[in-house]
Homo-oligomer: A and B are copies of this chain.
Amino acid sequence: MPNDNKAYAKREKFYMNGKLFPDIKVGMTKVNLTPTVTKDEHGVPHTEPNAPIYIYDTSGPYSDPDFVHDPKKGLPKVREAWIERRKNDGQITQMAYAKAGIITPEMEYVSIRENMNCEALGIESHITPEFVRDEIARGRAVLPANINHPESEPMIIGRNFLVKINTNIGNSATSSSIDEEVEKAVWSCKWGGDTLMDLSTGNNIHETREWIIRNCPVPVGTVPIYQALEKVGGRAEKLSWEIYRDTLIEQCEQGVDYFTIHAGIRLHNVHLADKRLCGIVSRGGSIMSKWCLVHNKESFLYEHFDDICDIVAKYDTALSLGDGLRPGCIADANDEAQFAELDTMGELVGRAWEKNVQAFIEGPGHVPLHKIKENMERQLVKCHEAPFYTLGPVVTDIAPGYDHITSAIGAAQIAWLGTAMLCYVTPKEHLALPNKEDVRTGVVSYKIAAHAADLAKGHPGAMVRDNALSKARFDFRWRDQFHLSLDPELSLQYFEEAGHTDGEYCTMCGPNFCAAKLTHDLRKIKR
């Protein structure tokens, strides 16, 4: 894939092996840099090598030039042997192993993945396999890894790790085919999506999902209520526990790594959304609210939550407790409805942990900057430090068409404060379904927000890439700059379209106005 393109010429697929488990092979991107050449006051050049930089790589085998992809065969099953080795244990979730003091290959895998520049550059890191185990045991981190999705490369979601991003795809009857959905999944992974939610509705849900999972190197999440609703002809009030349960089992069997479950909707809380400017904006939340009101009963998701946990524990499908009452506009942020649901989610996450089910908490949505902190602080307390997974939040409602930006601002802020995973938002949010370019824009915007938070939190080695790119910029090593960037293709394209060429200044400012060139000159002036 990437290697066809000169934008990726200095990038190489690289694998690092495990120490506890030698059959672990963690894929990453190695960026080979050109040397820095400086000239002294006599014009004599001096050459200094630049060490290669390793980049976290979510693209799986697709970026390996030796890999030949056949969508019908799917991806290599990297986790198959590990899962088989422990097949006879009674409790098979990562949390169960973690609580039992056992470090799994998945745990070592993510510890390598989180630290990729540390060893080479002598940077100390708190992220050891044992630390990973401990965070999972405490519920502070989730390693989504359905035993039926062995194609997935392990990754971890928790606030003491790199901030992750999720992307959404989903067919719609009118606008996309199954092949297109697989292509979108691969595309999202190429740009850096850490997990992928399949939000398909309409026909062919099962088959679409099967193709996506078999070809997806990252964990896949779904919202099972969508398929259940299709099974009852789109009539929310016809939903039942039995239909939902069968849907869960069907999806667990396929290998879904996490489920969004809107079990936090309580009958006595639904009316709290009446006071709102924008009511309920979560699809799952509105479906379950309708069910509760029509039947005047607690939802079957809440009532059967322990049964849900018993099912998913067999597969190690994680739970993403959906925020059905998240605010849908700035005016509704941090209101009673939202926080009442958060309290319920705190209760539920405790129940999940009792069954060794990994779980995280979904969050808003639409929140102005000054109300973001309260969201994060309250979530940590009420939900016992379970990972927070937010949708943005957008920090203003006045920019439809630019909600990747309104939300990247909020996402960076909340991730800095402790959110572990960010659900991406594309420019078309609130207006239309995203196309491929929108997905790319959304993913890159969220990689920016996540990385900004990693820097602010001081993640070990996060600054290595910024520094390498900045040094390349200052040295006029233009190509190195592009190879190190989040979007090598676009940065190269802008550079070339402008007619720039490699050299010690560029046509933007010209030689007399080039601050970098002048600085290089200054350093030659003797004092």
Contacts and interface: CB of A to CB of B under 8 A. Distances in A.
A29 interface: no
A491 B280 contact: no
Given A396-B466, A399-B486, A474-B328, A522 B270 contact: yes
B329 A470 contact: yes
Interface stretch (A12-20, A90-98, A249-257, A441-449): A441-449
A483 to B, nearest CB: 11
Interface in A461-494: 463, 465-467, 469-471, 473-474, 481-482, 484-487, 490-491, 493-494
Ranked nearest first, the 8 interchain pairs of A and B with the lowest CB-CB distance are A279-B519, A432-B498, A329-B470, A234-B512, A286-B518, A369-B456, A370-B456, A286-B515
Nearest to A294: B525
Interface string A493-511: 1110110100000111111
A515 B369 contact: no
Nearest to A510: B201
Interface of A: 172-174, 201-202, 226, 229, 234-236, 270-271, 273-274, 277-283, 285-287, 289-290, 293-294, 328-331, 368-370, 395-402, 404-406, 408-409, 412-413, 416, 427-428, 430-433, 444-445, 447-449, 451-453, 455-458, 463, 465-467, 469-471, 473-474, 481-482, 484-487, 490-491, 493-495, 497-498, 500, 506-516, 518-523, 525, 527
A518 B280 CA distance: 8
B281 A432 contact: no
Contact of A174 (B431, B493, B507): B507
Contacts of A506: 432
B495 A431 contact: yes
A135 to B, nearest CB: 22
Contact of A290 (B270, B474, B482, B521): B521
Nearest to A230: B512
Contacts of A281: 515-516, 519
A5 to B, nearest CB: 15
Given A201-B513, A278-B516, A279-B523, A329 B473 contact: yes
20 contacts: A202-B510, A234-B511, A273-B519, A281-B515, A287-B518, A290-B521, A293-B527, A330-B467, A368-B452, A368-B455, A369-B452, A370-B416, A401-B487, A402-B444, A402-B486, A402-B487, A409-B449, A432-B498, A432-B506, A433-B507
A293 B525 contact: yes
Contacts of A510: 172-173, 201-202
Contacts of A412: 369, 395, 409
Contact of A401 (B329, B490, B527): B490
A330 B226 CA distance: 44
Contacts of A482: 400
Contacts of A511: 234
Contacts of A236: 512, 518
Contacts of A520: 279
A264 B521 CA distance: 21
A329 B466 contact: yes
A469 B398 contact: yes
Q: Which of A431, A447, A451, A455 has the most CB of B within 10 A?
A: A431
Given A226-B513, A369-B416, A278 B405 contact: no
Given A277-B474, A409-B448, A463-B331, A494 B455 contact: no
Nearest to A406: B448
Contact of A405 (B370, B445, B467, B500): B445
Given A201-B513, A270-B522, A486-B398, A433 B279 contact: no
Nearest to A285: B515
Given A290-B518, A330-B455, 17 more contacts: A270-B522, A277-B470, A279-B474, A279-B519, A286-B518, A287-B513, A293-B527, A329-B467, A331-B467, A368-B456, A369-B412, A369-B456, A370-B455, A395-B448, A402-B490, A413-B413, A432-B495
B470 A519 contact: no
Contacts of A282: 515
